[in-house]
C-alpha cells in the first residue's frame, strides 16, 4: 500500500450533520498528487476518538493528519493554507484554523500565554504563533508524535467541589494535546485567513468571528488607509 500523505480524521460524535458541513467537506482543496485517506470514528468520547485517529494514521505512515470536527465549517483552502505553514516552518508541528465558541460572546478558541481569555492580538490573514487552540480544524505533522508518550489527547475536565463552590478543573483534550506539543519543544501556529464557522445544533445557529472584533476592525482600518493612500496618489 502506498504511504498516505494526509490522513483526514473525522471524529463524529453522533449529532446531526448540517448540509453546509457536508458541502464544505466535499469542496475542500488538497495539494496536487496527494495520497489521502479517510479515518472516521463514531460515537466515542472525543479524546478516545482523536487518539484512535492518530493511531490509524501512524499505522498508515501518514505525513499529516487533518482533524475536522463535525460542527466546524472551514474554508475550501484550509488544508492548503495550514499546510503552507508546516512546510515553511520546520519547528511548527501544528497549524490551526480559527473558530469561536458557540455562544453570544463568540470568542476565538485560540490562546496565548500572558493574555487572559481568548487571544485577539492578531490580524486577518496573518500567520501567528499561539500556545493553545481547538482541534476542530487542525493540521498536524505526525513527526511530533515521535516526541510524545500516549495518550496524545486526554479530556481531564471535571467539576469539583472546593469549599462552598463548584469549580471546573482540568483541560479539554485539544488543550492537553497543545501542552504536550509545547513540552516537546515545538511550536503551534494559527492562520488568520482560515476563519471557520461553528455550528450549534441546540439553537441551529452558526457562530463566527464578529465583524466588530479587534482583528476585523484592524483589517477594516488597514483597508480604509489603503484606499485613502491610493486616492491621494491619483
- List, in order, residues 6 or more apart from 150 with CB less than 8 Å away: 51
- List, in order, residues 6 or more apart from 227 with CB less than 8 Å away: none
CATH 3.90.550.40 for domain 6-209, yes or no, is yes
CA proximity to 15, closest of 151, 159, 198: 198
For the stretch 81-113, pLDDT in tens is: 999 999 999 999 999 999 999 999 999 999 999
State the pLDDT at residue 169.
58
State the pLDDT at residue 5.
96
103-126 average pLDDT score: 94
Residue labelled with grid coordinates 492580538? 121
The answer to whether 23 and 66 have CB atoms below 8 angstroms apart is no
For the stretch 159-180, pLDDT in tens is: 676 666 776 656 899 999 999 9
- Mean model confidence pLDDT for the chain: 93
d(CA 126, CA 216): 12
pLDDT exceeds 60 at position 2: no
For the stretch 32-76, pLDDT in tens is: 999 999 999 999 999 999 999 999 999 999 999 999 999 999 999
pLDDT exceeds 60 at position 233: yes
**Could you tell me the pTM of the whole model?**
0.92
State the pLDDT at residue 215.
93
The neighbour count for residue 44, using CB atoms within 10 Å, is 15
- Is 158 or 119 the better-scoring residue by pLDDT? 119
The answer to whether 126 and 108 have CB atoms below 8 angstroms apart is no
d(CA 141, CA 31): 15
State the pLDDT at residue 156.
87
Amino acid at each position: 500500500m502506498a504511504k498516505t500523505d494526509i490522513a483526514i480524521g473525522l471524529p463524529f460524535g453522533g449529532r446531526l450533520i448540517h448540509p453546509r458541513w457536508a458541502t464544505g467537506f466535499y469542496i475542500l482543496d488538497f495539494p496536487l498528487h496527494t495520497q489521502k485517506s479517510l479515518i472516521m470514528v463514531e460515537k466515542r468520547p472525543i479524546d478516545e476518538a482523536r487518539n484512535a485517529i492518530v493511531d490509524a494514521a501512524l499505522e498508515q505512515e501518514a505525513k499529516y493528519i487533518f482533524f475536522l470536527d463535525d460542527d466546524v465549517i472551514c474554508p475550501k483552502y484550509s488544508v492548503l493554507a495550514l499546510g503552507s505553514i508546516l512546510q515553511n516552518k520546520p519547528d511548527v508541528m501544528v497549524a490551526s484554523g480559527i473558530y469561536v465558541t458557540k455562544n453570544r460572546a463568540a470568542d476565538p478558541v485560540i490562546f496565548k500565554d500572558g493574555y487572559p481569555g481568548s487571544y485577539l492580538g492578531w490580524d486577518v490573514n496573518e500567520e501567528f504563533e499561539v500556545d493553545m487552540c481547538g482541534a476542530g480544524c487542525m493540521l498536524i505533522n505526525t513527526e511530533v508524535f515521535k516526541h510524545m508518550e500516549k495518550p496524545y489527547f486526554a479530556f481531564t475536565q471535571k467539576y469539583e467541589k472546593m469549599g462552598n463552590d463548584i469549580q471546573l478543573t482540568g483541560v479539554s483534550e485539544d488543550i492537553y494535546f497543545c501542552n504536550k506539543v509545547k513540552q516537546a519543544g515545538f511550536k503551534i501556529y494559527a492562520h488568520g485567513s482560515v476563519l471557520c464557522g461553528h455550528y450549534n445544533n441546540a439553537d441551529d445557529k452558526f457562530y463566527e468571528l464578529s465583524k466588530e472584533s479587534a482583528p476585523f476592525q484592524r483589517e477594516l482600518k488597514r483597508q480604509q488607509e489603503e484606499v485613502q493612500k491610493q486616492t491621494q496618489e491619483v
